[in-house]
Structure 1
Amino acid sequence: MPARGDLPTGAPIWNDLTTDDLDATVAFYTDLFGWTHENHGPEFGNYGTFFLDGKRVAGVMPQMSPQSPLGWLVHLHAPDVDAATEAAKRAGGSVVLDPLDVMDLGRQAVVVDPSGAAVSLWQPGTQTGFETVAEHAAPGWHELHTQDFDASVPFYAELGWTPRIMSDEPQFRYAVDEVGGQQYAGIMDDPRSGVPGPSYWLVYFGTDDADATAARVTELGGTVVRGPEDTPFGRLLNVTDPRGATFSVIGPNTGAAQA
């Protein structure tokens, strides 16, 4: 489906991947999801965009220094990135990258939330984020796995979320950012579920067939960490790509757990 119109403040607007092997990573994702890739050249640090049927779905870049963290980074919509950065600091976060202009594409900062998860703040310019979501091979969901749920929920509220506690069970506590009946992202209390740290943001991509995607991941040199398994939210697959970056894939259930 097309990307969701005007995104509320704080909602995921983009995701991109930092890798230590650009060619191998591009080959993996283009083969797995049928994406195409455009490298924007040395003047952009060889940052590239992945497209699904001509529409932007994700970015990819080479690791710029040995200190640059590898893996997927989630960008949250920040109409005023300078104000959002100050709000993040007031809410107990720290700043990794001060606000800066990325040519005419937008303005960006990177912060670390109180639980230790890094997240980007993106003020759109000409780069307005996803162009399609919630379909096969497109971004479907973004989820914070936190070691400090009680600090994380108010932190993201300061960044614009409207949090709603969806579940507060002994082994499953979960909050969503929900605006006008539309859910945009989630926060999982990992210790409540018995999951050790660290805290991190997880990107989900859609699939029409989770089992076929799992088989293809393995064929392409990735690793299936868990699943596929039916859940109340869809058939879930947790994966690492050949360079070790973690992501999830979700598709229609095949059994009794189908919602």
Structure 2
Amino acid sequence: MLTTDFVPGTPNWIDLGAPDTEAAAAFYSAVFGWTFRSAGPDAGGYGFFQRDGRTVAALGPLTGEGASPAWTPYFHTRDADATTDDVRRAGGSVRVPPMDVFTAGRMAAFTDPTGADFAVWQPRTTTGVDVVMEPATLCWTELHTTDTTAAKEFYRSVFSWRYEDMDTGGGTVYSVVSAPGGGTGDDAGQGGITPLQPHGPASGPGSAWHPYFGVHDCDATYATATEHGATGLLAPTDYPGVGRLALLKDPSGAPFALIKGDPSTT
């Protein structure tokens, strides 16, 4: 499961690119009780979503021509420059080359060979988000991809990820992801890789990472989100051994999921 004892290859940051950051901050405040704190006048509108004074995620304006609203997961690295080389060798592309973020750390952003965007964070003064695996915080990251074989090989090459494949019925295989040093046994899972279903609830223009946020009450949070302009993709549904989950797009179109329960028990 996710922890804040970050090791290479585990999620240590997540941010939302939005066309209207004020509207996005208002929406997620209504849904999760988050507050938004600016990173300062030199941060270009970037800032932090916080709950009880602890950073749970971040928010910034869309950058880059043609960028779409989306949540982007960041994975821990000890060397963003070396990881960039690994991404290139494995067939990925570099969207943002390694750059320092003040004294907080060093980041780089990429697209995997199947078209999904992700990033890495090399910590300095900021190790990552302050809290995970609590209500209104990140508890799982899930890749919906057009090519699970290519995606798994890519991330194995870049992060040395391990996979536990599970048959979910109908010939669909769900791969639970873990990173070396990220836990053992039932505590090892940090996310999943699953085929992008052309007509499924998470269908979209291509491969993408989706964050799951924990909630006390999936139905109530889903109702609040849709009342504030979110589009429901999958109404709250029970998944044995996983929990009760729902999929949505926020008012700008960025996908995210809710879950009551610990998905690492899958």
Contact 1:205–1:248, Cα closer than 8 Å, also in 2: yes
Contact 1:164–1:177, Cα closer than 8 Å, also in 2: yes
**Does 2:255 align with 1:249?**
no
Contact 2:4–2:12, Cα closer than 8 Å, also in 1: no
Letter in 1 for 2:175: A
**Does 2:205 align with 1:206?**
no
Change (3 A) 1:98 1:27: same
* CA–CA distance in structure 1, aligned partners of residues 160 and 12 of structure 2: 13
Letter in 2 for 1:187: I
Deviation at 1:192, TM superposition (A): 9.8
Aligned residues: 254
**Does 2:245 align with 1:236?**
yes
Show the counterpart of 2:82.
83
Letter in 1 for 2:29: T
Show the counterpart of 2:153.
154
SS at match of 2:22: helix
Deviation at 1:189, TM superposition (A): 2.1
TM-score (ref. length: structure 1): 0.90
* CA–CA distance in structure 1, aligned partners of residues 80 and 261 of structure 2: 36
Contact 1:15–1:59, Cα closer than 8 Å, also in 2: yes
Show the counterpart of 1:184.
190
Deviation at 1:223, TM superposition (A): 1.7
Mapping for residues 98-177 of structure 1, pairs under 5 Å: 98-168=97-167, 170-177=170-177
1:143-163 deviation digits (Å, cap 9, x = unpaired)? 111111111112111222432
Letter in 1 for 2:173: R
Gaps of 5+ in 1: none
SS at match of 1:201: strand
* CA–CA distance in structure 2, aligned partners of residues 74 and 22 of structure 1: 18
SS at match of 2:134: coil
SS at match of 2:159: coil
Change (3 A) 1:22 1:100: same
* CA–CA distance in structure 2, aligned partners of residues 11 and 226 of structure 1: 27
Deviation at 1:125, TM superposition (A): 1.5
* CA–CA distance in structure 1, aligned partners of residues 198 and 248 of structure 2: 22
SS at match of 2:252: coil
Deviation at 1:101, TM superposition (A): 1.0
Show the counterpart of 2:12.
13
TM-score (ref. length: structure 2): 0.88
1:71-130 deviation digits (Å, cap 9, x = unpaired)? 111111111111111111111111111111111111111111111101101111222112
Deviation at 1:171, TM superposition (A): 2.9
Contact 2:16–2:59, Cα closer than 8 Å, also in 1: yes
* CA–CA distance in structure 2, aligned partners of residues 27 and 162 of structure 1: 36
Gaps of 5+ in 2: none
* CA–CA distance in structure 1, aligned partners of residues 127 and 165 of structure 2: 29
Structure number with the bigger relative contact order (C-alpha 8 A, sep ≥ 6) is: 2
Mapping for residues 18-29 of structure 1, pairs under 5 Å: 18-29=17-28
Change (3 A) 1:172 1:192: farther
